[in-house]
Amino acid sequence: MPDLLALPKTELHLHIEGTLEPEMVFALAERNGISLPFDSVDELRERLEFTDLQSFLDLYFACSIVLRTRADFADLARAYLARAHAQGVRHVEMFFDPQAHTSRGVAVDTVIDGLRDALAEANLEWGITGGLILCFLRDLPVEKALETLESVAHRAGDLVGVGLDSTEVGYPPELFERVYRRARELGLHAVAHAGEEGGPEYVWPALEVLGIERLDHGIRSLEDPALVEALRERQIPLTVCPLSTVRLRGVDTMVEHPLPRMLDAGLLVTVNSDDPSYFGGYIGDNYVAVQQAFDFDLSTMVMLAGNSVTASFASDERKAELR
């Protein structure tokens, strides 16, 4: 098997706050004079063991408080993009969680400007293309999501799309119908996390009410044959994150991951990293993990990389270059 890290690829499910490595948590805390609830990098590393999605989210939001300035967001994204470049990424559509920052008094423009600084540099240096997907925290009130969207309406051209993340169970997608309608008016693409911990009943409204073009995780869709058929027939891409699902205990081990069954069902599956500094690997590491678990041949790995190009919101011209 050739080096899967070198295989050119596209990343479509990546939370930029989930690339905050423990060393950077401490460096930014010191730079910004913020005290942390952990004493050392080692103590933080010891906490990277999760029982479910919520146990991860608690740590993810606790660490995100070190991000305050435009330079912080630029440094965070620069570090991710350097690692992504080293693992073959040529195009990335990056999630960010503005409400995790605006709730602490950080302006949304500060976040967007910093992330775009790093993306512009990576484009110049390495030819990496892509953009930003603004995610709403689904466990906060819908009104807050609408306010967040209106606050960036004047710069919708700086965004690729909107998404929905954070705690899933108890917060069904249809709550956000108005938000997604407004996002569409602004010309933004629409994706959502669904079917990660929630069952098929969380995926259907993401498709039918929110009108998503791509489904993040979606692994529990397999429990509903009619849903699988709808996803297959419409060729809705699924952004699967194998190491994430193992670390958040969606499955016990990688060999039990449903990815092969999803491919057998004719779904448009892509492989991504989700929150690489928390889940033990960047995108190339996810490719290596699935290849080893399922003994996939090179043509399957190339097909997965090609699916990510198909599933991206890149222009047709750029897609042709990425293939």
Site membership for Zn ion, residue 21 (CB under 5 A):
no
- Are 84 and 128 spatial neighbours (Cβ–Cβ below 8 Å)? yes
Task: Report the candidate in 33, 36, 34, 28 with the shortest Cα–Cα distance to residue 74.
Answer: 28
Please give the C-alpha separations between residue 96 and each of 57, 204, 230, 235, in angstroms, as whole numbers: 14, 24, 29, 25
201 is catalytic: no
101 is in an annotated binding site: no
Site membership for Zn ion, residue 274 (CB under 5 A):
yes
Site membership for ligand HPA, residue 87 (CB under 6 A):
no
Task: Report the candidate in 91, 87, 66, 83 with the shortest Cα–Cα distance to residue 11.
Answer: 91
58 is in an annotated binding site: no
C-beta neighbour count of 294 within 10 angstroms = 16
Q: For Zn ion, give the closer residue by CB, 73 or 279.
A: 279
Q: For ligand HPA, give the closer residue by CB, 145 or 301.
A: 145
Site membership for Zn ion, residue 17 (CB under 5 A):
no
Site membership for Zn ion, residue 168 (CB under 5 A):
no
Nearest distance in Å: CB 144, ligand HPA: 16
Site membership for ligand HPA, residue 270 (CB under 6 A):
no
Looking at 196, 197, 229, 317, which residue is catalytic? 196
Please give the C-alpha separations between residue 215 and each of 28, 46, 194, in angstroms, as whole numbers: 33, 32, 7
Site membership for ligand HPA, residue 53 (CB under 6 A):
yes
Site membership for ligand HPA, residue 244 (CB under 6 A):
yes
Nearest distance in Å: CB 13, Zn ion: 6
Task: Report the candidate in 298, 311, 238, 247 with the shortest Cα–Cα distance to residue 275.
Answer: 247
Site membership for ligand HPA, residue 274 (CB under 6 A):
yes
Within 8 A by CB and 6+ apart from 136, the residues are 99, 145, 148, 149, 162, 163, 164, 165, 176, 179
Q: Which does 18 bind (CB under 5 to 8 A by kind): Zn ion, ligand HPA, none?
A: ligand HPA
C-beta neighbour count of 39 within 10 angstroms = 9
Cα(first)–Cα(last) distance of the chain, in Å? 20
Could you please report the per-residue DSSP string of 136-155?
A: EETTS-HHHHHHHHHHTGGG
275 is in an annotated binding site: yes
- Are 100 and 137 spatial neighbours (Cβ–Cβ below 8 Å)? yes
Site membership for ligand HPA, residue 196 (CB under 6 A):
yes
Nearest distance in Å: CB 135, ligand HPA: 7
The binder of ligand HPA chosen from 9, 15, 83, 220 (CB under 6 A) = 15
Structure tokens at 196: 């990660």
Site membership for ligand HPA, residue 11 (CB under 6 A):
no
13 is in an annotated binding site: yes
Size of the site for Zn ion (CB under 5 A): 1
- Please list every residue from 76 through 115 that binds Zn ion, using CB under 5 A: none
Q: Contact positions toward ligand HPA, by CB under 6 A?
A: 15, 18, 53, 60, 165-166, 193, 196, 244, 274-275
Query: Which residues carry a binding-site annotation for Zn(2+)?
Result: 13, 15, 193, 274
Q: Which residues are catalytic?
A: 196
Q: Contact positions toward Zn ion, by CB under 5 A?
A: 274
